[in-house]
Amino acid sequence: MAPEIRPLTPDDAEASRRLGWEAFGLPAKLPKKPAVLETAGHTWLGAFEGGQLLGRLVGLEHESAFGGVFLPSVGIAGVTVGNEHRSAGLLRPLFTALLSDARAHGVAVSTLYPSAPGIYRGAGYEAIATSGQATLPTSALARLRVPAGITLRRAGNDDVTGVHELYHEWALAQNGPLAHRGVLYETKPSKWLKEFTGVTLAEDGDGVLQGYLAWHRGDASDSRLDIEEFHWRTPDAATALLAMLATNAPVTGSVRFATSGNDPLRLVLPSAHWTVEHHAPYMLKVVDLRAALTERLWPEGVDVELPFRVVDDLLEANNGDWKLRIEDGHPWLTRIGKTGSHPSRVVPLEMGSRGLAALYAGAQTATSLRTAGLVWGGDPARDLTWSVAFGGRAVHIRDTF
């Protein structure tokens, strides 16, 4: 018997909380206060049988940077199935319902942090990046000094807009970062500042913001500074902020940075002492192929026609034969028709939704995806053309949801 898939209501809040507690063990004890479902930017779906909640997930409304723009996205979180009902096929209808609805509301891509990547690969997600923390001794920064022409100061409420603008400037130059705006990020400047021990700004001689650090001071037992956000426009700004961290060496033995991918922070650190303590994979699925390909930016000077075929077992609208035409940065996407509609003289590159995700993000080259069996067909000699068209931006993710 197929489960009933429907949105959770306030009456389902306690059952949802218990299911989450059973799966994740958080909090340590169930609170006595009544359970509630967060609603702003949240879409809760449950799988029911005989009125019993067997599994649930939540979609989080946000935006992700891909191809130089912020695309409407849905983050998947809180995926939980009761112990007695795992391996019963409940996740597939939950994902199908949530992603189909998201697509109808303009969502281009979906992302998630997997507890078990294999489960989500079955829904067409593929790992594109990792996020984590890396630690180095504070003493490794000791020889740094604030360069001439750079001034450091603590951020106030009036500085928050400029800080977010600098973050978004960085984010749009990458693939993957979340936009710090929208319903999940709506907060007053004073409240955002209170999330950190301090936010330190680096300004040039004209008072223009060139970099910032958002940091936490751990308690005496861990003797560490945690850097949640660190972005800069100039090497002098980066050096100045690192020099400020170095002044904490007498009381904090280490600095831990949020990091991801091939982090450019390694290029401005004076030391190779860099220990990755934790990393978590981040996965992507293209929800609306047309929106994902035509709303992003493409490299100027690229002039190419790319015939391809998509096999998406979850979202029928993505399936079939397509042609992407890029001319000096302008894309045109044509749906040729159902699978097998390309003319006989055309040999399309074929890909499942996992290969599409990794190629789209620029996380893997077409050649690597071919060796992994995630793309096939086409002309292998054109794999480099595909890789060049989709490449050019590093893949980074430093937020959780």
> Tokens for 55?
């599994």
Let me know if residue 43 belongs to a domain: yes
SS (H, E, C) 204-222: CCCCCEEEEEEEEECCCCC
81 and 54 Cβ atoms separated by less than 8 Å:
yes
Looking at the fold, whether 202 and 239 belong to one and the same domain comes out as yes
The CATH number linked to 240 is 3.40.630.30
What pLDDT score does 90 carry? 93
In a domain, residue 284? The reply is: no
Is residue 265 in a domain? yes
pLDDT, one tens digit per residue, over 23-81 is 888 777 778 889 899 889 999 999 999 999 999 999 999 999 999 999 999 999 999 99
Asked whether the beta carbons of 212 and 155 are under 8 A apart, the reply is yes
Q: What is the tally of structural domains in the chain?
A: 3
Residue 287 lies in a domain: no
Mean pLDDT for the chain overall: 94
DSSP H or E stretch at residue 80: strand 69-81
Which CATH number characterizes residue 309's domain?
3.30.1050.10
> What are the angstrom distances between the C-alpha of 265 and each of 23, 260, 272?
36, 10, 11
Structure token pair of residue 122: 């079955």
* 231 and 154 belong to one structural domain: yes
Report the C-alpha gap between 88 and 98 in whole angstroms.
Answer: 18
When pLDDT is cut at 50, 70 and 90, the band that residue 1 belongs to is confident
**Which pLDDT score is estimated for 186?**
86
Q: Which residue has the tokens 């590093």?
A: 394
Q: How far is CA 325 from CA 127, 238, 307, in A?
A: 26, 40, 8
Report CA dihedral (367, 371, 376, 378) to the nearest 10 degrees.
Answer: 40
Is the per-residue pLDDT at 220 higher than 80?
Answer: no
Q: Are residues 174 and 261 in the same domain?
A: yes
Please indicate, yes or no, if residue 309 is contained in any of the structural domains.
Answer: yes
Q: Which two tokens stand for residue 165?
A: 């603008």
What beta strand segments (E) does 222-302 contain? 224-232, 254-260, 275-286
Task: Give the domain-ending residue among 93, 128, 163.
Answer: 128
Whether 87 and 124 have beta carbons less than 8 Å apart is answered as: no
State percent of the chain over pLDDT 90. Answer: 85
d(CA 83, CA 77): 18
Does 358 share its domain with 309? yes
Domain stops at, among 99, 128, 157: 128
Using one digit for the tens of pLDDT, what is the confidence trace for 297-344?
Answer: 999 988 999 999 999 989 999 999 999 999 999 999 999 999 999 999
In the block, residue with structure tokens 């981040």? 282
Q: How confident is the model at residue 2 (pLDDT cuts 50, 70, 90)?
A: confident
- Residue 374: what are its φ and ψ, rounded to 5°? -95, -15
Let me know if residue 135 belongs to a domain. Answer: no
**In what helix (H) or strand (E) does residue 375 lie, and over which residues does it extend?**
strand 375-377
- Sign of the torsion formed by the C-alpha atoms of 251, 253, 257 and 262: positive
Per-residue model confidence (pLDDT) at position 31: 81
pLDDT at 130: 93
State the residue range of the domain holding 242.
144-269
Same domain, 17 and 114: yes
Axis crossing angle, helix 383-390 with helix 353-361, rounded to the nearest 10: 60
Cα–Cα distance measured from residue 35 to residue 33, given in angstroms and rounded to the nearest whole number:
7
The overall longest dimension of the chain from CA atoms, in Å, is 71
For residues 20 and 94, membership in a common domain is answered with yes
Same domain for 260 and 148, yes or no, is: yes
Is the CB of residue 245 less than 8 Å from the CB of residue 141?
yes
pLDDT at 219 over 80: no
- Residue at 279 is within a domain: no
Task: Let me know whether 265 and 162 are in one domain.
Answer: yes
Residues 232 and 115 occupy one common structural domain: no
Whether residues 207 and 107 fall in one domain: no
Which pLDDT band, with edges at 50, 70 and 90, does 279 fall under? confident
Do both 371 and 255 map to the same domain? no
- DSSP count for the chain of H helices, then E strands: 11, 17
Asked if 106 and 169 sit in the same domain, the reply is no
Domain boundary among 128, 160, 193: 128
Averaged pLDDT, 125-151 = 95
pLDDT of residue 305: 96
Prior bond of 27 cis (ω within 30°):
yes
What CA–CA distances, in Å, run from 315 to 10, 207, 283, 333? 29, 50, 17, 18
Flag whether 186 is in a domain. yes
Q: What is the pLDDT of residue 393?
A: 96
Position 143 pLDDT exceeds 90 = yes
